[in-house]
Amino acid sequence: MLPDNQDSFKASVELLGSAYNFFRDIKRFVKNSFASKNRWICVAFLITLLFGTIVRIYYLRHPIRYDEALTRVIAYQSLGKVVTDYFAPNNHLLHSILVKSSSRIWGDSLFGLRFPALIAGIVLIIVVFVFASIVYDREVALIASVLAAFSSPLVEYSVLARGYTILIVLFLLAFTLGAYLLRTNNGFAWVAFAIVSALGFYTIPTMLYPLGVVVVWLIVSVLVKKDKKINQLSFLKGLFVSLTAAGIITFLLYLPLILNGSYRIALTVPETRRLPWGEFFSNLYRTARLTWSMWMRDTPLVLSVLLVCFFFLSILSQHRVSSYRIHIFFPVSLWLVPLIFGLRIISPLRVRDWLFLLPIFLCCASAGIVFFIRGFQLSISKTRLAMVFCAITLIIILPVFLFHFNGISFSEEGGRCDEAERIVVFLKGILRGKDRILAYCPCDLTIAYYAEKHGISKDHLYGNILLGKRVIFVVNKVPVYSQSIKTVLAYGNIDYQKVKRTIRLISRFEFSDVYECYLR
C-alpha cells in the first residue's frame, strides 16, 4: 500500500473501533438502566413517557394555527422547491422535509402535518433522561424527564408543526455527545457531533445559540478537567475538526438557497434587524419577562419559586451532584450574553428562540431537588424510594395543572384563530359567484386551510379581490393582533372611504367579527 492509503486504512480501522466502543457504551447504558437497582426508576420513567405521550396526543386535536398553515403551504411544494426556496423564514428545512414525508403516509391532515413535531416531542422526554443521566445520574434524570414531559411550552411545541422541538432534541443530543466525549474522546462520537450540529443548523439557523453553549461548556470543562485520561490538545483538535465538518455540511445543505439568493428573505424580517441601544434594552427586558412567563405557564407560583430555588441549589452543589466540574448553565452566560449584546438582535415576538434553555433549566432544578432529598441522609433504598415518590407525585399533579390552567388552548404561539373552521362553515352558506374572502394574519391561512377542506372554490380565496363584487372580510378582535376594519381592508388594497357606506356586520364570533362590503 502507498503511505497515503496506509494512513487512510489506519484511520478507517480506528473509526470502526471507536464506533464499536460507542455502540457498546450505549448498550451498557441501556442495560444498566434496566438493572435491578434501577428497576423502580425505570418503571417511573416508562410511566412518565407513557403519560407524556398521551398528553401530547390529546393536544393534537387543537385547530390549526397560522404558522402551521404556512408550514403546510411550504411542505406541500415539490421537494426541490422546499430545499431551494427560502421564501418564508417559516421554512425550517429539515422539519419541512419531514412534514412532506409524513404527509405521504398520513395524507393532507393535521396529524400528518404535526407528526414530525409529535415524534420529536416524545423523543425529547427520552433525550432529557439520557442527558441528565450522563451529566448527573438517573435519579436526577427521572425528575428532569417528568418536568419536561409535562412542561406546558414543551408540550405545546410538541404538537405545533414547527421545527423548534426538533432543534431542542438535536441540541440536547449534541450536549449529550459532548458530555460523553469529555469522558472518552471517542472518534465516532465526534463524527456524530458534527452531523447532529449540522442537522440543527439545517432545521433552524438559530442553532448558533444552543451549539455555542455546548462548545463553550466543552472548552471550559476540558481546560479545568483534572482527569488526565483525556489529552486536552487532542480533545480541542477533535472539537475543531468536528465543528469544521459541521460547518462544511451545513454550507452544502444550504448551498441551493445561497445560489438562488432566497436566504436573504430571512435577513429582511423585522425581528432580525440590529437595534439601537435604547430599543435593545427595552426589548431585552420584555423578552426576558415573556420568556420566563412562557416557561412557567400553567405552573403555580409556589412551584415556580421552588424550581428557581432548586436551580440555584444545583449551582451550589455542583461538585456533589455531578462528576463534571462546570455547571451546565454556566456557558449560557459566557456565550449568550456577549452574543446578544454584540448582535443586538432580540425580539419579544420570538421568545420561542430561547425555548432550548428550558430543558437545561429543568435538569438543573432536578439536580437541586435530588441534592435536597439526599440531604436527609436516608439509606440508599429509602432515598431511591423518595425519588420515585417525588416523581410519581409530579406525574400526578403536573398534568392536573396543565389541564386546569389550560394555557396551551389560549396561547397565541404560532398565531391562533380557533374559530376559523366555524367561520368557514358560515361563509360556505352565504358565498355567491363573485364574492371574495379577505382576512389578515393569523386568520388568512387558517381560514384558507379549512376552506379547502370544506370545498370552497379557490376563486373566493385567491381570486383578485378588486375584480370581485362583494368582499367578506374577517377582523380578529384579539388585542395582540391590533386589527380593525381599516387595517384589514388596507391589507386587501381596498379604499375604506369608498366602501365604508356598504360595510355591514354579518356575523359575530367570540374572537372575530365577519363583515361584508361592496366594491361596485
Residue among 43, 227, 253, 21 nearest 145 (CA): 43
500/401 same-domain check: no
Model pTM greater than 0.75?
Answer: yes
CA 381 to chain centroid, in Å, comes to: 37
Tell me, yes or no, whether 7 lies in a domain: no
pLDDT value at position 1?
Answer: 46
| Residue ending a domain, choose from 341, 375, 410 | 410
Note whether 121 and 356 are within 8 A (CB): no
Tell me, yes or no, whether 333 lies in a domain: yes
pLDDT value at position 518?
Answer: 94
Note whether 275 and 346 are within 8 A (CB): yes
Domain hosting 395: range is 37-410
In angstroms, rounded to a whole number, what is the distance separating the alpha carbons of residues 313 and 374? 13
Tell me, yes or no, whether 322 lies in a domain: yes
166/43 same-domain check: yes
Query: In which residue are the cell numbers 386551510 written?
Result: 449
Give the number of C-alpha atoms closer than 13 A to the C-alpha of residue 75, restricted to the C-beta side. 31
In angstroms, rounded to a whole number, what is the distance separating the alpha carbons of residues 344 and 274? 5
The number of residues making up the chain comes to: 520
Which phi and psi (to 5°) does residue 93 adopt?
-55, -50
213/270 same-domain check: yes
Count of structural domains within the chain: 2
| C-alpha dist (Å) from residue 67 to 1, 74, 166, 295, 417 | 57, 10, 16, 20, 11
400/427 same-domain check: no
Q: Which residues contact 183 (CB under 8 A, 6 or more apart)?
A: 230
Tell me, yes or no, whether 485 lies in a domain: yes
pLDDT value at position 68?
Answer: 94
425/353 same-domain check: no
pLDDT value at position 266?
Answer: 67
pLDDT value at position 4?
Answer: 60
From first to last of the 520 residues of the chain, give the pLDDT tens digit: 445 667 677 778 888 999 999 999 999 999 988 887 788 899 999 999 999 999 999 999 999 999 999 999 888 888 888 888 877 778 889 999 999 999 989 988 999 999 999 999 999 999 999 999 999 999 999 999 999 999 999 999 999 999 999 999 999 999 999 999 999 999 999 999 999 999 999 999 999 999 999 999 999 999 987 767 788 999 999 999 999 999 999 999 999 888 887 777 766 676 778 899 999 999 999 999 999 999 999 999 999 999 999 999 999 999 999 999 999 999 999 999 999 999 999 988 889 999 999 999 999 999 999 999 999 988 888 888 899 899 999 999 999 999 999 999 999 999 999 999 999 999 999 998 889 999 999 999 999 999 999 999 988 998 888 888 899 999 999 998 889 999 999 999 999 999 999 999 999 999 999 999 999 8
Tell me, yes or no, whether 12 lies in a domain: no
In angstroms, rounded to a whole number, what is the distance separating the alpha carbons of residues 443 and 420? 7
Helices (H), 346-419: 357-374, 380-405, 407-410
170/270 same-domain check: yes
457/405 same-domain check: no
Give the number of C-alpha atoms closer than 13 A to the C-alpha of residue 387, restricted to the C-beta side. 34
3-state secondary structure of 512: strand
496/442 same-domain check: yes
379/440 same-domain check: no
503/359 same-domain check: no
426/399 same-domain check: no
| Residue ending a domain, choose from 361, 380, 410 | 410
3-state secondary structure of 146: helix
Which phi and psi (to 5°) does residue 473 adopt?
-125, 155
| Residue ending a domain, choose from 363, 392, 410 | 410
Tell me, yes or no, whether 16 lies in a domain: no
Note whether 191 and 242 are within 8 A (CB): yes
For residue 185, what is its C-alpha cell?
A: 474522546
Tell me, yes or no, whether 3 lies in a domain: no
Indicate the DSSP class of residue 35: S
349/481 same-domain check: no
Tell me, yes or no, whether 300 lies in a domain: yes
How many C-beta atoms surround the C-beta of residue 126 within 10 A? 17
